[in-house]
Each structure stands twice: as structure tokens, then as C-alpha cells.
């Protein structure tokens, strides 16, 4: 249980150093299971999801230790995870499946959990692995996947991020060539591929929808620094744009944030890119129409934080969520603060320009938590944000401290 008090805040100004991307680090950590040699992941963010993944790697037989800001993993002999609780806690747990199967020829696990933002099945992961020759059996709530993998042509019905990652990892140690068509091409997937190449994998088409992997006999250790977090940078950008701030997002990769920057710029925010990162100033003013899509379209993970901002823009903003079927839970909480948001299925209509008033609100998922925190910055009075499942700590490294450094009045109570 975590709790935050947020007060109406002045214009945010100053600098924030963007942390390493959670969604890049988690698959890279899972990929260390592909070799018995030592891997070093630098600039590790301090997040509960990365701690969970660390525990999961240990549960799979890896030796894991921290060394300054790096994580050192050596996965001598690996086995299926035994701790069902760890699998249930985090959706990204499923990412150990591809590496374990490729390395050992078998993996048994229970269905992963994670944020309650939709059904989130893993059928695309399993179908892809079956294409690679794996046999999938379910018994007593457990899934057992076995077989020596053989390269194949895989077409993903939908460019799932996790399925692409699992399949590309499994393909690195499969015999022959694997082609993944309609692969997802989020920057975090390209980053995983670059780590795999550093480990000895042969991958062509990195950063595209068509990945070709030539299997190798063995992978080796590697040192790697994953990319900065585009969602953290985007969340801080929304907070700044909401308060007419002027901030430098140090280390932010603007080339990974085009869809959000385009929306904010259309609405009135001014961006400047330089070697230190991304600067923005000014206020978002005009309403927006946003459709979440796979990369390079507008990221679903930015939908909630941007919706918080649109509550303060005059006129009607429209959000169409196409990636997850239940990702508007923050709308009810924002309405508790005085926002006027109507949800119709996958569509949310935000009648903006209504003053927000601080209220007691509850975080239902990770990005909803961030949205409520930034909404609190422009609300009159005090907002008490309950985060019963500590969602914020899962995916943002000290968000409240970074906001404080920019002048926001936020404090963690518990
Ligand atoms: C990843 C990100 C998450 C982000 C999401 C979409 C990580 C650790 N998490 O999640 O932050 O919100 O991408 O950008 O990187 N689906 C199926 N069958 C499958 C797999 C997915 O139907 O086998 C559906 C899901 O239910 C969902 C959609 O596809 O509706 C997108 O899921 P996916 O791209 O796999 O997201 P994740 O990898 O879970």
C-alpha cells in the first residue's frame, strides 16, 4: 500500500533525468537466461518490477547480484520457475518462457498476472512457439511447453510486444532461420534485439515488422545499457505541459516519442531537442484526438497521463483505445476530481476546461496512477492518491521525487 498527497503546484521548471526503460530492461533481464556466461546490465532502474524479475531469474537458477548501478546475472544451469506467486504478480514473467524453452527444451509455468487492464492472454506467444516445433500442454492450471526448436515462418495476427520478444529470444537458439512477420517494432524490442546481437545472436530487420533470426549453437555473455524510458519522459512532459512549465528531460530519446510530441505540439507546446535531451515549454491549449496504436503510433501507455492533461484543455478531446479492452479505469477517478469524461466502450470523450478539485482517488493500474498524480498538480486543494497495489513503484523510478525537483508539491505518505 502506498499513498501520496498532491497539492496544486506552480509551473514545473528545471531538469529531470530520465531513467532506463522498464519495458526494455525486463525482456533484457529474461534474455540473460539464454547463456551460462555472465551478463551485465548497466543503469538499472530501481523498480519493483525489476526486483520481481530479479527474484524470478533466481527462481530459475540464475545467480543475480547488484554492482553499483548494474545487475550482474550468471545463469549456469536453468530450470522452470517454481514460485507461482512471482508469476502471478507480473505479466512480464511470461518473458522467461522463450529463453528457458530454447535453452532447456522445456518450461513449465502458471499463467502470468500484471495490471488489470484487459484479458491479456498469451495465445500469440504459444502459437508462435508451436510453429517453432514446441508442444504445449495444460494441466492443473500449469502450462508445459516442450521440444527442440526448429526455425519457421511465423505471422503474428497482432503485433504483440511480449510475443515478439518471446519468439525472437526463442529463435536465437533454434536450428535454422526464423522469420517473424507482423512483429511489433517498439523501441524496447529493437533494444532487446541489440542486446541479443551483443550476446552472439544473428538478427536482421531490427526495428522493423519483419525480423529474421538465424539460430546459433550458443550465446555468450554481454554488457549492455538499455534505452531511456519514453513513457516516463512522456509522463513528465504531460505534467509540464499541464502547468505551463519549462523543463529539460535529460537523456530523453525524442526519436522514440514522436507520436506524443506531435500531439502536444499541435496543442501548443514548444519542443527543442539538443544533445542533453528534450526541452519543452508552454502550455497545451487545444483539445486532441488520440487513437492508441502499435509503435510508431500513439502508445497505449501514454493514454492515461495524456487524458489527465486534456481535462484542462478547452473543448472536446477524444480517445480511442485500440490495444487494451479495459484501459479507461482512470476516467472514473478523474471524474471524482471534477473532470467530465464519458466512456463508451473503447471511446472516451473528455469535455475539457473544467477545474479539478482535490479528492481521494485510487490507482487501478500503473499508468492510471501516474495520470492521477499529474491531475493532482492542477487540482485546487489536496489530492490523496491511494495506490493499494503500489503500482507507481512498479514502473516509475521515484516519480514523486522527480516531480518535487521540478517544483511540484507531492509527497509520499506511506
Ligand atoms: C507490453 C508492455 C506494456 C504495453 C503493451 C502495449 C512490457 C513489459 N509491457 O505489454 O507496458 O502497454 O506492451 O504496448 O513491455 N494479446 C493477445 N494475445 C497474446 C498477447 C497479447 O491477445 O498472446 C493482446 C493483449 O491482450 C493486448 C494486446 O494484445 O490487448 C497488446 O498486448 P502486448 O503487445 O502483448 O502487450 P504486453 O507485451 O503484455
Pocket test for ligand 1, best of 120, 156, 256, 296 (most atoms within 8 A of CB): 120
Q: Which three cell numbers stand for residue 400?
A: 514523486
- Relative to beta strand 360-362, strand 38-41 is unpaired
Q: What is the pLDDT of residue 113?
A: 60
Domain 2-19+228-412, architecture per CATH: Alpha-beta prism (3.65)
Q: What is the pLDDT of residue 117?
A: 47
Pocket test for ligand 1, best of 50, 121, 158 (most atoms within 8 A of CB): 158
Active site residue 115: yes
Give distance in angstroms: CA of 96 to centre of ligand 1.
Answer: 15
Q: Which atom of ligand 1 lies nearest, measured to the CA of 324?
A: 30
Q: Which atom of ligand 1 lies nearest, measured to the CA of 123?
A: 23
**CB contact at 8 A, 131 and 152:** yes
Taking phi over 0 as left and psi of -120 to 50 as alpha, with beta for the rest, 190 belongs to alpha
Q: Which atom of ligand 1 lies nearest, measured to the CA of 49?
A: 8
Q: What is the pLDDT of residues 349-399, one digit of tens each?
A: 999 998 999 999 999 999 999 999 999 999 999 999 999 999 999 999 999
Query: Which residue is closest in CA terms to ligand 1's atom 15?
Result: 23
Give distance in angstroms: CA of 326 to centre of ligand 1.
Answer: 13
pTM for this entry = 0.97
- Separation of alpha carbons 363 and 368, rounded Å: 6
- Separation of alpha carbons 153 and 210, rounded Å: 11
Give distance in angstroms: CA of 91 to centre of ligand 1.
Answer: 9
Residues 6+ apart with CB under 8 A from 202: 213, 214, 215, 216
Give distance in angstroms: CA of 14 to centre of ligand 1.
Answer: 34
Q: Which atom of ligand 1 lies nearest, measured to the CA of 186?
A: 14
Q: Of the residues 60, 107, 115, 193, which is catalytic?
A: 115
Q: Which atom of ligand 1 lies nearest, measured to the CA of 120?
A: 26
Q: What is the pLDDT of residue 87?
A: 84
**For 164, phi and psi rounded to 5 degrees?**
-60, -45
Residues β-bridged to residue 15? 248
Query: 313 to each of 6, 133, 262, how far by Cα in Å?
Result: 21, 53, 16
At 237, is the secondary structure helix, strand, or coil? Answer: helix
Give distance in angstroms: CA of 223 to centre of ligand 1.
Answer: 27
Residue 231: closest CA among 289, 160, 299: 299
Q: What is the pLDDT of residues 64-113, one digit of tens each?
A: 999 999 999 999 999 999 888 888 888 899 999 999 999 999 999 887 66
Pocket test for ligand 1, best of 49, 90, 123, 162 (most atoms within 8 A of CB): 162
Q: What is the pLDDT of residue 198?
A: 98
Q: What is the pLDDT of residue 120?
A: 66
Task: Please compute Rg for the chain using Cα positions.
Answer: 21
- Separation of alpha carbons 160 and 190, rounded Å: 14
Residue 53: closest CA among 14, 10, 22: 22
Q: Which three cell numbers stand for residue 353?
A: 476546461
Q: Which three cell numbers stand for residue 360?
A: 481521494
Residue corresponding to grid cell 550458443: 218
Residues 6+ apart with CB under 8 A from 113: 87, 88, 89, 90, 91, 93
Q: What is the pLDDT of residue 86?
A: 84
Domain ranges of the chain: 2-19+228-412, 22-224
Residues 6+ apart with CB under 8 A from 300: 292, 321, 323, 324, 327
Chain centroid to Cα 67, Å, comes to 24
Q: Is 225 exposed, middle or buried (0-12, 13-18, 19+ CB in 10 A)?
A: middle
Residues β-bridged to residue 223? 40
Using CB distances shorter than 6 Å, the residues near ligand 1 are 23, 26, 91-92, 118-125, 158, 160-163, 184, 188, 300-301, 323-324
Query: Which residue is closest in CA terms to ligand 1's atom 7?
Result: 23
Q: What is the pLDDT of residues 37-48, one digit of tens each?
A: 999 999 999 999
Kindly provide the residue ranges of all beta strands, DSSP E only, lying in 234-352, ordered along the sequence: 246-250, 270-274, 277-281, 289-291, 315-320, 340-344, 347-352
Query: Which residue is closest in CA terms to ligand 1's atom 38?
Result: 162
Give distance in angstroms: CA of 200 to centre of ligand 1.
Answer: 27
Query: Which residue is closest in CA terms to ligand 1's atom 37?
Result: 162
DSSP H helix total and E strand total for the chain: 14, 23
- Relative to beta strand 360-362, strand 382-387 is parallel
Query: Which residue is closest in CA terms to ligand 1's atom 29?
Result: 160
Q: Which residues of the chain have pLDDT under 70?
A: 112-120
The C-alpha angle 387, 46, 386, rounded to 5 degrees, equals 5
Residue corresponding to grid cell 505541459: 241
Query: Which residue is closest in CA terms to ligand 1's atom 30?
Result: 324
Kindly provide the residue ranges of all beta strands, DSSP E only, lying in 251-354, ordered along the sequence: 270-274, 277-281, 289-291, 315-320, 340-344, 347-352
Q: Please state which of the four CATH numbers 3.65.10.10, 3.40.718.10, 3.40.50.720, 1.20.1050.10 is assigned to the domain occupying 22-224.
A: 3.65.10.10
Q: Is 150 exposed, middle or buried (0-12, 13-18, 19+ CB in 10 A)?
A: middle
Amino acid at each position: 500500500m502506498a499513498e501520496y498527497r498532491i497539492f496544486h503546484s506552480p509551473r514545473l521548471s528545471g531538469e529531470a533525468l530520465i531513467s532506463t526503460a522498464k519495458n526494455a530492461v525486463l525482456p533484457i533481464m529474461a534474455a540473460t537466461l539464454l547463456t551460462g556466461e555472465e551478463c551485465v546490465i548497466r543503469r538499472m532502474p530501481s523498480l519493483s518490477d525489476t526486483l520481481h524479475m530479479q527474484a524470478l531469474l533466481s527462481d530459475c537458477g540464475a545467480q543475480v547480484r547488484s554492482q553499483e548501478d548494474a545487475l550482474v546475472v550468471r545463469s549456469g544451469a536453468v530450470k522452470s520457475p517454481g514460485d507461482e506467486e512471482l508469476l502471478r504478480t507480473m505479466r512480464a514473467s511470461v518473458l522467461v518462457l522463450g529463453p528457458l524453452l530454447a535453452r532447456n527444451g522445456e518450461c513449465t509455468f502458471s499463467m502470468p498476472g500484471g495490471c488489470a487492464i484487459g484479458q491479456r492472454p498469451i495465445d500469440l506467444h504459444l502459437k508462435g512457439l508451436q510453429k517453432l516445433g514446441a508442444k504445449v500442454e495444460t494441466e492443473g492450471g500449469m502450462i508445459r511447453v516442450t521440444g527442440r526448436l526448429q526455425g519457421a515462418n511465423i505471422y503474428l495476427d497482432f503485433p504483440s510486444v511480449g510475443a515478439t520478444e518471446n519468439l525472437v529470444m526463442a529463435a536465437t537458439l533454434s536450428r535454422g532461420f526464423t522469420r517473424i512477420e507482423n512483429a511489433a517494432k517498439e523501441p524496447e524490442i529493437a533494444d532487446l534485439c541489440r542486446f541479443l546481437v551483443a550476446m552472439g545472436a544473428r538478427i536482421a530487420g531490427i526495428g522493423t515488422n519483419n525480423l529474421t533470426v538465424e539460430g546459433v549453437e550458443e550465446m555468450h555473455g554481454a554488457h549492455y545499457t538499455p534505452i531511456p524510458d519514453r513513457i516516463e519522459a512522456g509522463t513528465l512532459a504531460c505534467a509540464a505541459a499541464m502547468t505551463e512549465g519549462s523543463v529539460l528531460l535529460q537523456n530523453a530519446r525524442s526519436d522514440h516519442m514522436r507520436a506524443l510530441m506531435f500531439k502536444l505540439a499541435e496543442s501548443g507546446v514548444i519542443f527543442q531537442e539538443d544533445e542533453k535531451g528534450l526541452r519543452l515549454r508552454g502550455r497545451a491549449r487545444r483539445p486532441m484526438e488520440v487513437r492508441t496504436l502499435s509503435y510508431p503510433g500513439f502508445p497505449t501507455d501514454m493514454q492515461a497521463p495524456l487524458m489527465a492533461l486534456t481535462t484542462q484543455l478547452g473543448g472536446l478531446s477524444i480517445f480511442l483505445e485500440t490495444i487494451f479492452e479495459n484501459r479507461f479505469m482512470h476516467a472514473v477517478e478523474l471524474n471524482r476530481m471534477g473532470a467530465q469524461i464519458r466512456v463508451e466502450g473503447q471511446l472516451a470523450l473528455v469535455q475539457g476546461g473544467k477545474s479539478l478539485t482535490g479528492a481521494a482517488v485510487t490507482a487501478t493500474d500503473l499508468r492510471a496512477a501516474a495520470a492521477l498524480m499529474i491531475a493532482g498538480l492542477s487540482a485546487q486543494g489536496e489530492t490523496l492518491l491511494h495506490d493499494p497495489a503500489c503500482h507507481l513503484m512498479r514502473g516509475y523510478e521515484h516519480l514523486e521525487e522527480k516531480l518535487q525537483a521540478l517544483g511540484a508539491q507531492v509527497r509520499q505518505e506511506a
